[in-house]
């Protein structure tokens, strides 16, 4: 059985895994610091040297946190140079390699998520027994970034957690990727069957993507939604946005809704209060929820994110739900659920009723982008027979 290489590469860490073809589970999951390598090819080669020294994978899909297109890719929040999928494929000596945006991979994983993979935000409760949407997943090629190497082929991928992670108490049944609906758990809030989905997530950067159902399957809609203007609404937020513009020359959402953004908001609030600035890390801010300034930082963060997520829902028509990813929110679940996130998400006059019907939930699956990268390979290579 041939193996596939999949990866989720962010500005801080690059997570790699091997999959035993379309029906395997991501295994040998390892996280490597991006700063330890000059580029993606070197990081992937180091991983393969340890985990696949004698037999190289037959195909790879690497999801990166940055723009992908026109035969190139770039990691936004790391010091790596711009690269090409073909150069990475040649360096690794693989017959087939695809590089996609990390939130494109996360979007592709959405139909695979079950009730144990989601925490409702805003009062919605997971319900089992029906697909998120009426669309089917097929083996059709998904438009996207250029592929390197000649396609070889595959069947389907089951829905399951990453190897080494706790197995959900009620696993979601899997189904082939050939025209059969995949049973998953939708959220309450009257999601519209067959409607687009959206995913938004702050981490090292800020990612946004959509997933649109078509007759031939789910089609991801990647982009650079983290680079839109910050949706400041309150006087305090507007004051923070003014400080951001003075420092950075722009009010880009990622400058506030990210790990570095947490630090920046915390610093700006101290400036506004005329108090000394305590330089804390994002982790420290998340942990010090009883500290008044840290708490205000986190609550402002969640409120701004709610406005941005609502904007994404309106732009994409994501009546199938908006899902929250990234590495920050799982650390502040209680703050998120008790914050103004949902009120700001819904507060879009004159379409409040439209917004109230859209469910929102936090993704807590241990490695959804790895699952999405595997789905991408399965959909991209419908005729490949595992060796």
pLDDT by position in tens, the chain (length 387): 579 999 999 988 999 999 987 767 789 999 999 999 999 999 999 999 999 988 889 999 999 988 899 999 999 878 899 999 999 999 999 999 999 999 999 999 998 888 899 999 984 443 433 334 333 333 333 333 333 443 333 333 333 333 333 333 333 333 333 333 333 334 435 567 789 999 999 998 899 999 999 998 899 998 889 999 999 999 999 999 999 999 999 999 999 999 999 999 999 999 999 999 899 999 999 999 999 999 999 999 999 999 999 999 999 999 999 999 999 999 999 999 999 999 999 999 999 999 999 999 999 999 999 999 999 999 888 655 444
Work out the percent of the chain whose per-residue pLDDT is above 70: 80
Q: Which domain holds residue 262?
A: 225-363
Whether the link from the prior residue into 265 is cis, omega within 30° of 0, is no
For the segment 212-242, what is each residue's pLDDT rounded down to a tens digit? 999 988 999 988 899 999 999 999 999 999 9
Query: Within a domain: residue 217?
Result: no
Domain count, the chain: 2
Q: Is residue 258 part of a domain?
A: yes
* Residues 376, 292 share a domain: no
Examine residue 58 and state whether it is found in any structural domain, yes or no: yes
Same domain for 90 and 125?
yes
- 288 and 338 in a single domain? The answer is yes
**Whether residue 274 is found in the same domain as residue 339:** yes
Strands ordered across the beta sheet of 360-363: 118-120, 360-363, 322-324, 197-202, 206-214, 217-222
Would you say 12 is a known binding-site residue? yes
Structural domain includes residue 208: no
Same domain, 115 and 254: no
| Local structure of 127: helix, strand or coil | coil
**CB-CB contact of 11 with 204 (8 Å):** yes
Question: Rounded CA gap, 164 and 62, in Å?
Answer: 21
Whether 336 and 372 share a structural domain: no
Do residue 339 and residue 257 come from a single domain?
yes
Closest CA to 362 of 132, 165, 31, 124: 124
Tokens in use for 29? 């999951």
Residues 169 and 257 in one domain: no
Q: Do 53 and 137 share a structural domain? A: yes
In a domain, 204, yes or no: no
Shared domain check, 158 and 297: no
Residue with tokens 């919605």: 124
Q: Is 9 annotated as a binding residue?
A: yes
Residue 11, annotated as binding a ligand: yes
Residue 125 and residue 239 in one domain: no
Question: Which CATH number covers residue 328?
Answer: 3.40.367.20
Cβ neighbours of residue 74 closer than 8 Å, sequence gap 6 or more = 64, 66, 67, 80, 82, 83
For residue 261, tell me if it sits in a domain: yes
Same domain for 375 and 353:
no
Q: Is 10 annotated as a binding residue?
A: yes
Residue 187 lies in a domain: no
The CATH number given to whatever domain includes residue 35 is 3.30.420.40
Does residue 332 fall inside a structural domain?
yes
Q: In angstroms, rounded to a whole number, what is the distance separating the alpha carbons of residues 181 and 136?
A: 5
């Amino acid at each position: 059985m041939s193996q596939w290489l999949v990866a989720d590469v962010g500005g801080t860490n690059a997570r790699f895994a091997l999959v035993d073809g379309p029906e395997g589970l991501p295994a040998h999951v390892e996280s490597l610091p991006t700063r330890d390598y000059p580029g993606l090819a070197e990081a992937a080669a180091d991983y393969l040297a340890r985990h696949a020294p004698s037999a190289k994978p037959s195909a790879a899909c690497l999801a990166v946190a940055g723009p992908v297109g026109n035969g190139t890719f770039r990691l936004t929040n790391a010091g790596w140079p711009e690269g090409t999928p073909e150069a990475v494929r040649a360096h690794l000596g693989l017959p087939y390699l695809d590089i996609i945006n990390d939130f494109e991979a996360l979007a592709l994983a959405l139909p695979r998520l079950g009730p144990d993979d989601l925490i409702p935000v805003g009062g919605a409760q997971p319900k089992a027994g029906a697909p998120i949407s009426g669309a089917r997943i097929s083996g059709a090629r998904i438009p996207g970034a250029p592929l390197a190497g000649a396609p070889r082929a595959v069947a389907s991928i089951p829905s399951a957690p990453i190897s080494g992670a706790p197995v959900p108490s009620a696993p979601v049944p899997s189904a082939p990727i050939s025209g059969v609906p995949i049973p998953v758990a939708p959220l309450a809030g009257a999601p519209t069957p067959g409607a687009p989905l959206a995913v938004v997530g702050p981490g090292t950067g800020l990612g946004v993507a959509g997933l649109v159902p078509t007759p031939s399957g789910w089609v991801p809609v990647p982009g650079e939604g983290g680079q839109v203007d910050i949706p400041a609404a309150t006087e305090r937020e507007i004051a923070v946005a003014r400080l951001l513009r003075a420092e950075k020359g722009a009010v880009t959402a990622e400058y506030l809704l990210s790990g570095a953004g947490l630090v920046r908001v915390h610093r700006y609030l101290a400036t506004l209060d005329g108090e000394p600035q305590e330089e804390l890390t994002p982790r420290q801010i998340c942990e010090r929820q009883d500290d008044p300034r840290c708490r205000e930082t986190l609550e402002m963060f969640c409120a701004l994110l709610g406005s941005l997520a609502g904007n994404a829902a309106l732009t994409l028509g994501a009546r199938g739900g908006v899902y929250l990813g990234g590495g920050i929110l799982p650390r502040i679940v209680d703050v998120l659920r008790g914050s103004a996130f949902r009120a700001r998400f819904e507060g879009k006059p004159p379409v409040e009723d439209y917004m109230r019907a859209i469910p929102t939930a936090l993704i807590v699956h241990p490695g959804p982008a790895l699952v999405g990268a595997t789905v991408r390979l399965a959909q991209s290579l419908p005729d490949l027979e595992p060796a």
